[in-house]
């Protein structure tokens, strides 16, 4: 997922990179509608992303810095940003391998252990009204994870899906009942973890330096199993080794595998809002399975 696109800012990516870094641009190569690879004088290559919502750009920049401050996982350095542009390091591409996957798992466990002030806490200097990909995401804080997760991560997207006609009222009741049972299904209480927040496979880059790098965060304080559930949902190379490395550093509470679906309700409903009925079916399946336990 990525920050929202912008129809036009009156400035091209090269000019934005030069202004925000204070360096001369010597080359550029479009990578997508949002991303441009820009070469600066001296040969350094940076990625320039444009967005139409200042809060989205600010949230991503703040999230990258918050993750970097933990000193655990690798994230691209932020070289500058404003209301419409974000300039970060480029990550030279490598290939996933067993050693990198195990290290990624250990580093992710260490990131989560650094913690956050509360569930829903945004990064310092990050906005309350942030984004997860193209979808708005409010970082409202709470101290009780089951209630906070239901009220601020599941139900807002369920309501929008109902309003859009993607989920029927009778179906919504199934997910609402699963939310009501979260206190008994959520497992042992855990402190707020420092989450990447949008940890699908596309946001994990396997670098040429033999390390995994994380990009495009929707960073906030949350339950550590939510990041891991998203890796399960959309697949991740060598996932079993990532999990083994994670467990070496911070063993998960018993029954965690049975809770993966509950933690997937959030991204599944975000995708329901963004992409439609197929993800609604998956969310309903997860909720029904949870209620059947």
pLDDT in tens, the chain (293 residues): 333 334 445 789 999 999 999 999 999 999 887 899 999 999 999 999 999 899 999 999 999 999 999 999 999 999 999 999 999 999 999 999 999 999 999 999 999 999 999 999 999 999 999 999 999 999 999 999 999 999 999 999 999 999 999 999 999 999 999 999 999 999 999 999 999 999 999 999 999 999 999 999 999 999 999 999 999 998 899 999 999 999 999 999 999 999 999 999 999 999 999 999 999 999 999 999 998 85
User: Model-level pTM?
Assistant: 0.93
Q: What is the CATH number of domain 98-291?
A: 3.90.1200.10
Q: Which alpha helices (DSSP H) does the chain contain, by range? A: 13-21, 54-69, 98-114, 145-149, 155-164, 169-180, 182-185, 224-234, 239-249, 260-275, 277-291
Which regions of the chain carry the CATH code 3.30.200.20?
A: 13-89
Which regions of the chain carry the CATH code 3.90.1200.10?
A: 98-291
- Which architecture does CATH list for 13-89? 2-Layer Sandwich (3.30)
Q: Please count the other Cβ atoms lying within 10 Å of the Cβ belonging to residue 210.
A: 12
DSSP assignment string, 236-270 = -TTHHHHHHHHHHHSPPPTTGGGGHHHHHHHHHHH
| Residue 115 token pair | 């913690």
Three-point CA angle 157, 158, 159, nearest 5°: 90
For residues 193 and 72, the answer to whether their CB atoms sit within 8 Å is no
């Amino acid at each position: 997922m990525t920050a929202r696109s912008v129809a036009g800012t009156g400035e091209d990516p090269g000019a934005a990179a030069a202004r925000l870094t204070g360096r001369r641009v010597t080359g550029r190569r479009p990578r997508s509608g949002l991303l441009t690879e820009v070469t600066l004088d001296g040969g350094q290559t940076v990625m320039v992303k444009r967005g139409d919502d200042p809060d989205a750009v600010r949230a991503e920049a703040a999230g990258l810095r918050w993750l970097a401050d933990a000193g655990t996982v690798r994230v691209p350095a932020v070289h500058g940003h404003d209301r419409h542009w974000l300039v970060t390091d480029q990550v030279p591409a490598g290939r996933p391998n067993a050693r990198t996957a195990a290290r990624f798992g250990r580093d992710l466990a260490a990131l989560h252990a650094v913690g956050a002030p509360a569930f829903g806490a945004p990064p310092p200097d990050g906005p309350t009204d942030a984004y997860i990909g193209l979808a708005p995401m409010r970082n409202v804080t709470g101290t009780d994870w089951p209630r906070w997760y239901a009220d601020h991560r599941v139900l807002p997207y369920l309501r929008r899906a109902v309003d859009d006609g993607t989920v029927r009222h009778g179906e919504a009741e199934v997910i609402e009942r699963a939310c009501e049972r979260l206190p008994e299904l959520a497992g042992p209480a855990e402190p707020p973890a420092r989450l990447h927040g949008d940890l699908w496979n596309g946001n994990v880059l396997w670098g040429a330096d033999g390390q995994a790098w994380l990009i495009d965060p929707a960073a906030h304080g949350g339950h550590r199993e939510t990041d891991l559930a998203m890796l399960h949902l959309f697949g991740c190379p060598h996932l079993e080794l990532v999990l083994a490395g994670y467990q070496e550093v911070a063993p998960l509470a018993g029954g965690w595998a049975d809770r993966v679906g509950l933690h997937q309700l959030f991204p599944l409903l975000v995708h329901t809002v963004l992409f439609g009925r197929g993800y609604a079916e998956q969310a309903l399946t997860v909720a029904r399975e949870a209620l059947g336990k």
